[in-house]
Chains A and B, each alone.
Chain A
Amino acid sequence: DAKTTQPPSMDCAEGRAANLPCNHSTISGNEYVYWYRQIHSQGPQYIIHGLKNNETNEMASLIITEDRKSSTLILPHATLRDTAVYYCIVRLSGGSNYKLTFGKGTLLTVNP
């Protein structure tokens, strides 16, 4: 079962920042937070991941709370092409099995 809780859906206006929350209250010290997204009729696409510190790349920023029990994915300037299901996943950092356990994610709809 997924170890994360996300709202089922969110709306955002084009050009505004989209802030997608995720709760992972049972996360352990050696587990990373990963974000993937899935645009309609495509396979999931990696966005970003982090352990403790905030992370930023060309796609998004990831803010992880100090207690690591929740995080927020930020798309700074959402476009219509960002409409997708966003998955927050907690994943081990050691061992040989790095399977991704997906929940139902958040459907982000970016409106013109």
Chain B
Amino acid sequence: EAGVAQSPRYKIIEKRQSVAFWCNPISGHATLYWYQQILGQGPKLLIQFQNNGVVDDSQLPKDRFSAERLKGVDSTLKIQPAKLEDSAVYLCASSLMASGDTQYFGPGTRLTVL
């Protein structure tokens, strides 16, 4: 069974530029999560989708971050404009349903903002 796929694996941008990350969850998984992991800390949930609807985006900085999950499969997370403090690893995870199922994580995208 293929795992959660993410691309790109690494991205370096200048501050105020925009960037987008892509995630393809495990086939059949209805729930998709985006986490931000700053160096030395545990991952922090940014947004949770159930199919193509948003369940929780309370910690998403909506003035600069946006995410979508069209057709309830792939998802894209965008940052525009990026700030220095956005340097982090962005992790995508998926689970079969929301109801307490195990979350499976992708390898993450490491973003460096200069």
Contacts and interface: CB of A to CB of B under 8 A. Distances in A.
B36 to A, nearest CB: 11
Given A102-B43, A102-B44, A104-B40, A43 B33 contact: no
B99 A100 contact: no
Chain B interface residue bracket vs A? 20 to 34
Nearest to A48: B102
A43 to B, nearest CB: 3
Contacts of B107: 41-43
A102 B46 CA distance: 13
B24 interface: no
Contacts of A91: 100
A99 B50 CA distance: 12
A93 B101 CA distance: 10
A101 B43 CA distance: 8
Nearest to A97: B56
Most buried by A among B91, B98, B101, B105: B105
Interface string A87-110: 100011100111111111100000
Contacts of A103: 42
A59 B103 CA distance: 16
B55 A100 contact: no
Interface in A57-112: 87, 91-93, 96-105
Contacts, number: 57
Nearest to B92: A43
Contact of B91 (A43, A99, A104): A43
A44 interface: yes
A16 to B, nearest CB: 26
B106 A43 contact: yes
13 contacts: A2-B42, A42-B108, A45-B105, A98-B98, A99-B33, A99-B45, A99-B56, A100-B43, A101-B45, A102-B41, A102-B42, A102-B43, A104-B40
Given A32-B100, A97-B55, 4 more contacts: A2-B42, A93-B100, A98-B98, A99-B45
Interface of B: 4, 31, 33, 40-45, 48, 50, 55-56, 91, 93, 95, 98-108
